Amino acid sequence: MSFKHLFSRTLEAAPGRLHFAAHSHHLWPDASFDGQVECWQDAARLADVKWDKVMDSVWPEAQTYVSDELGTGDASTVVFAANTHELLVRLVAACPRSNPSRLRVLTSDGEFHSARRQFARWQEDGWLEVETIASEPFEDFTERFLAAAGAGNHDLILVSHVLFGSGRLFDGVAQLATLASPQGPWTVIDGYHAFMAIHCPYPHGGGAFYVGGGYKYAMAGEGIGFMHCPPDFGPRPPITGWYAEFGELTAPPGGVGYRQDAMRFMGATFDPSALYRFNAIRRMLSREELTTARISAHAEELQQQALEALSATPLGGADLLNPLDGGPHARFLAFRSARAASWQKQLRERQCITDVRGDVLRIGFGLYQDSGDVSALAKIAADLD
């Protein structure tokens, strides 16, 4: 089955391209264009008062879509920012610490650059201490991470729901959330590769913060990071913008007021266009009856076809880090080989877009591909050296 008609603008813009990097830069559907135009038209028509529509209509609609997708059932716990790095900075600043001069962090060696780089830099300054759990061997990663998290030696615990390099799943989200307390530790799940790739990744919510964004499988592009904020955690974040004081406030006499919901983590003036794109895409998916579960099933069919077809190519000799097992799965296949970087370069020269992380070639699958694209991929891959 093909859904290419939903991506006609993007596909027609580069007709010779085979794009197998939905996990890296997801192609935009036509609905995103409609959302972008709607944003521009509202700005032109409403001018100064456009923010009434943004905050009274556009923002709540997007909050509802995120909470429904996560499975928390509470839109008031969702806040948006330009990216997840911005949210991470606000979280770290607000996190309680047993030693006021040092924040103790537990994480893994499979985290995306936003956390890895920022933690490393803060560690250089001496006020942040990091314990890193190796993500390999993958088979007991969840068990080892939960054991370290339960030891009680940390103020902040952060781990990816889906490891961005290998596509392996951390399946202890619910258990990790139970360890969190408003007084510490705080737990954070990076759901960037799980949001709209895994059905209902955080059902009923819990004590963990959950961050993600629209750049990957939400198909909405940059500018829409989000965070699920458990109630009572961080009532007065020290890094705060003026949007955090809109509405019902709590403040000491003469002090700085905050919202009681997730808006307490808000920043200042922002570009709302990504919210418009996201809402337009979610409406389109609803019209087409395309749930995350259905899209994932489509992607898995393509992955199964790809594995069979690629077995007769040089990629067949690589180590597949995330085999299909019938359960929830990343939207990409991760092939480890010393030839990974060379293969990615050779594929790109043939207008077949994948990406590489060290010695891992990642091949991603999305709604805009069909079986013909997979056959074309296998044909090109047969000529790799």
The tens digit of pLDDT for each residue in 212-223 reads 999 999 999 999
Confidence band of 252 (pLDDT split at 50, 70, 90): low
Q: Which residues are CB-neighbours of 229 under 8 A, at least 6 positions away?
A: 77, 78, 79, 209, 261, 262, 264, 265
Asked if 176 and 208 touch (Cβ cutoff 8 Å), the reply is yes
Asked if 221 and 279 touch (Cβ cutoff 8 Å), the reply is no
Look at residue 52 and tell me whether its pLDDT is greater than 90.
Answer: yes
Look at residue 248 and tell me whether its pLDDT is greater than 70.
Answer: no
Task: Please list the helix, strand and coil fractions of the chain in percent, rounded to the nearest 5, in that order.
Answer: 40, 15, 40
pLDDT at residue 2, as a whole number: 94
Residue of 24, 28, 16, 9 lying closest to 364 (CA atoms): 24
Q: What is the largest CA-CA distance in the chain?
A: 72
How far, CA to CA in Å, does 232 sit from each of 68, 76, 199, 340?
A: 21, 13, 27, 46
Tokens of 12: 């027609």
Per-residue pLDDT tens digits for 1-43: 899 999 999 999 999 999 999 999 999 999 999 999 999 999 9
Residue of 90, 74, 72 lying closest to 266 (CA atoms): 90
Look at residue 253 and tell me whether its pLDDT is greater than 80.
Answer: no
Domains and CATH numbers, the chain: 4-29+292-381 (3.90.1150.10), 33-283 (3.40.640.10)
- Give the start-end residues of each E strand in the chain: 18-19, 78-81, 103-108, 128-133, 156-160, 186-190, 209-213, 225-228, 319-320, 332-336, 352-353, 355-357, 360-364
Q: How many CA atoms lie within 13 A of 371 on its CB side?
A: 5
